[in-house]
Amino acid sequence: MIVATKIRLKPTKEQEVLFWKSAGTARWAYNYFLAESERIYNDEKRTVKESEIRKKINNELKPTTHKWLKEV
């Protein structure tokens, strides 16, 4: 028999804002990876690893133009 427990979250307004920021950041990162991998494939005819894009986001974008990524 499989037993399940339902849990209902009742976040405060601050927590709800953080949930939405986290979801938005995850969606942005996924879309950025898709766009970059497609661009690299079309330009250089090679595939790109997720770790390469992650390093680019953390080392180049986060400290300079995308400081809002540090909020999450």
5 located within any domain: no
26 located within any domain: yes
**23: domain range?**
13-71
60 located within any domain: yes
21-70 per-position pLDDT tens digit:
999 999 999 999 999 999 999 999 999 999 999 999 999 999 999 998 98
Query: In this structure, what is the dihedral angle of CA atoms 46, 50, 51, 53, given to the nearest 10 degrees?
Result: 80
Residue 2 pLDDT > 90, yes or no? no
The C-alpha R_g of the chain, in whole angstroms, comes to 17
7 located within any domain: no
Contact 40, 28 (CB under 8 A): no
